[in-house]
């Protein structure tokens, strides 16, 4: 999260080109949305599982980052590909994301804006259990979750594509009043969300997914990529953001 923030700051200052970052997580990590209560998390179980925890600068509910490919897009506000409001730019980027999963042979569908209330009557702290605008689905199940943060001079959008594994295991780290409710929550996630493996019937590697993302973004958004590591300056910014924000109790426990 600190490096995404550093990349945003770098592109806002004109020190870097608009950037697509592709990454994964070690160890598995639970990320909370910007305004999500920490009380949604069972910190004891989280520690027992050996999972990390972080709060995102973007909204939404909890995501377990494991066995997935995570992407982030950072761009200055003047960049034409993220021009317009949140929904307009989100839809434009969603076309590239849909192309990426299609290149992986997933029979996915990109849904348009819709006003739909969740049918879940119990408290719902899990991102992949909740419907959202312009979500990408397979067999009616949510496949890829994204969120966006807009600043005065730049935009950060990031999201995660689960590649394989049990999509319902996130419930193991969240707080429920009974184990029965935990089990029901995990089952609901399995019924409403899917992985790439669910869609194609075989396991897709991170490298295969990364290649699909690069090809799709280049084609759909008419891009020519320059592949490189973050600069020394960006790593230094990330270290500062980590120490001053993302690794602090004040940020994690803000709600």
Local structure of 57: helix, strand or coil: coil
Give the chain's largest Cα–Cα span: 52
**Where do the DSSP E strands lie in the chain?**
19-23, 29-32, 52-55, 63-65, 68-76, 108-110, 136-138, 141-150, 154-162
Of the candidates 93, 101, 129, 78, the residue with the CA atom closest to the CA atom of residue 198 = 101
Alpha carbons within 13 angstroms on the beta-carbon side of residue 76 total 10
Of the candidates 127, 149, 204, 237, the residue annotated as catalytic is 127
Measured distance CA(159)–CA(148) in Å, rounded: 9
Catalytic-residue membership of 67: no
Exposure pattern of 72-90 as b/e (b: 16+ CB <10 Å)?
A: bbbbbeebebbeeeeeebb
Of the candidates 237, 191, 183, 234, the residue with the CA atom closest to the CA atom of residue 19 = 234
- Are 49 and 29 within 8 A, CB to CB? no
Active site residues: 127
């Amino acid at each position: 999260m600190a490096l995404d923030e550093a990349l945003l700051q770098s592109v806002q200052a004109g020190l870097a080109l608009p950037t697509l970052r592709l990454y994964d997580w070690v160890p598995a990590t639970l990320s909370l949305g910007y305004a999500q209560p920490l009380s949604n998390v069972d910190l004891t179980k989280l520690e027992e599982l050996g999972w990390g925890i972080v709060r995102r600068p973007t909204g939404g509910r909890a995501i377990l980052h494991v066995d997935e490919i995570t992407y982030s897009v950072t761009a200055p506000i003047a960049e034409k590909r993220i021009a317009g409001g949140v929904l307009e730019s989100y839809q434009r980027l969603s076309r590239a994301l849909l192309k990426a999963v299609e290149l992986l042979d997933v029979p996915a569908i990109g849904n348009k804006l819709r006003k739909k209330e969740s049918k879940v009557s119990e408290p719902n702290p899990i991102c992949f259990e909740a419907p959202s605008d312009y979500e990408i689905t397979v067999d009616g199940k949510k496949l890829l979750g994204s969120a966006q943060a807009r600043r005065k001079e730049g935009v950060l959008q990031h999201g995660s594509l689960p590649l394989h594994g049990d999509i319902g295991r996130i419930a193991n780290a969240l707080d429920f009043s009974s184990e029965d409710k935990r089990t029901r929550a995990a089952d609901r996630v399995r019924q409403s969300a899917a992985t790439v493996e669910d869609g194609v019937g075989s396991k897709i590697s991170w490298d295969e997914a990364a290649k699909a993302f690069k090809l799709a973004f280049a084609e759909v958004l008419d891009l020519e990529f320059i592949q490189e590591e973050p600069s020394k300056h960006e790593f230094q910014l990330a270290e500062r953001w980590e120490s001053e924000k993302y690794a602090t109790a004040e940020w994690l426990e803000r709600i």
